[in-house]
Structure 1
């Protein structure tokens, strides 16, 4: 259940799919954080405005181009500073969540971060997409895929120490086995762990393998398989709601969203055009 702060808009919730993962969406105009620390590993991205924060004895800025990272138990404070508004999203990973991410990456020890702010716009966009997917809460596979890929890139690109993330085998045959699984069981709630187990890969390795072999992530490829299945159902005269469920989408709204993203029109518009 989200908690609402009426003085400054903020929402806090725990993700049901990843034990130990909590999320915060905040929109502040008059807030100041006293020096504090978290038991959790913290990642934050700014959507609008910004703030100043103090950590490691220096003052830095939070902005839309900066990814903020705080190690567990690392003291820091913050205030609005130069900006009249700060809208941001935060991810808090306690030990169970960190261990779950580590298993998905195939590592036993997560890196330590020697800095708190990273100018990495691509990674900022990746974590923003992850948080928005968690906020939407409608597609567990997409959430897990974004979680694994975002933290995998963060650890590999900016972390110090820990363990190197194993490279995925460059083998199209392995991708073909997972594709066959998708084509056979697209109507089920397939997970990255389940698909990776079929070919002996971690979720992070599976994502890398799919990108090289198909140019798509596993979630994007499975979505294409499901859209093709929905096409077949619609052509056969199946009602849109039933076609969505038969193709593996959680409801008609999910089918509409992905259909329009790929084809520029909704299934209903496509049906009308086909009938015309």
Structure 2
């Protein structure tokens, strides 16, 4: 009798052809993504099963007929719920790939995507084919053509021209605090310290962050630290050193948050960086 597949399997790698583009092939039987952000555009093609995804305060069940996309720094989460399996392919388009694609399209930056859940079978087919070609990395010209075609059509159909890197409507006080958190993410920042810098009580600060960002200050700082850890891991730093440099108390804390938010381990990410 064949053994039934009951575990989770993921493959994660960086494209050798396109610096700044990472790819994930996931097959989940049980996994929920906690609320998190990426410093990248995310495009995901579901092959079978599905999950309930929350993005921009919109919650929708996504399956094979829906392409999920998000802009850099947008908060998202996912839960499989009653779905017995979720198999999908995903792209993560960060710098310098964002700049490279913008130059290909003759612009200074890529557009802001207006929607997250796209019922667009044509685009689903194009991104599915692109992912499979990039996985083999064998035909350079074909890969270049498919990248320009898939992303060009995505931004042409659903982009509105605004800069994605600047979330709309963010409170000026929160923007200043986020800049400080990015600069001092490795320090042991306290809620009282941040509230004092904003001239608010701790309770007021939490409410302000949740209204403007959708996360508490602590949760947002975790995402900043995860992005910092990715930066160090891409450059070959050891896992423990990357955890401490990013502001986590130890490697175990990095492992916990990384797995919960990204669906892979820091080791998988580091191995993909070395291979790329």
* TM-score bracket for the superposition, by shorter chain length: 0.5 to 0.7
The equivalent of 2:30 in structure 1 is 30
SS at structure 1 position matched to 2:22 = strand
* Structure of greater relative contact order (alpha carbons < 8 Å, 6+ residues apart): 2
1:136 aligns with 2:139: no
Structure 2 counterpart SS, 1:95: coil
How do residues 1-276 of structure 1 correspond to structure 2 at under 5 angstroms? 7-162=7-162
Moved over 2 A (4+): none
Q: Distance in 2 between matches of 1:138 and 1:81?
A: 38
Q: How far does residue 143 in structure 1 lie from its aligned partner after superposition?
A: 1.1
Task: Give CA-to-partner distance per residue, 1:158-212, whole Å, 9 cap, x none.
Answer: 111259xxxxxxxxxxxxxxxxxxxxxxxxxxxxxxxxxxxxxxxxxxxxxxxxx
Aligned partners of 1:154 and 1:82: how far apart in 2? 30
Shift of 1:91: 0.3
Query: Which residue does the alignment assign to 1:168?
Result: none
Q: Name the CA distance, whole Å, in 1 between partners of 2:95 and 2:149.
A: 19
Partner SS for 1:112? strand
Deviation at 1:50, TM superposition (A): 0.8
> Which secondary structure state, in structure 2, belongs to the residue aligned with residue 160 of structure 1?
strand
Structure 1, unmatched stretches of 5+, are: 1-5, 164-276
Output the TM-score relative to the length of structure 2. Answer: 0.55
For residues 137 and 62 of structure 1, what CA distance do their matches in structure 2 show?
28
SS at match of 2:122: helix
What's 1:177 paired with?
none
- CA drift at 1:7: 4.2
Structure 2: gaps of 5 or more residues? 1-5, 164-276
**Pairwise CA distance, 1:61:** 1.6
- The Cα RMSD (Å) is 1.5
Give the deviation of 1:155 after TM superposition: 0.5
**3-state SS of 1:13 partner:** strand
For the pair shown, which has the larger CA radius of gyration, 1 or 2? 1
3-state DSSP class of the match of 1:65?
coil
Counterpart residue number, 2:186: none
CA distance in 1, matches of 2:162, 2:108: 8
Instruction: Give the aligned length.
Output: 158
Quote the Cα distance in structure 1 between the aligned partners of 2:34 and 2:129: 29
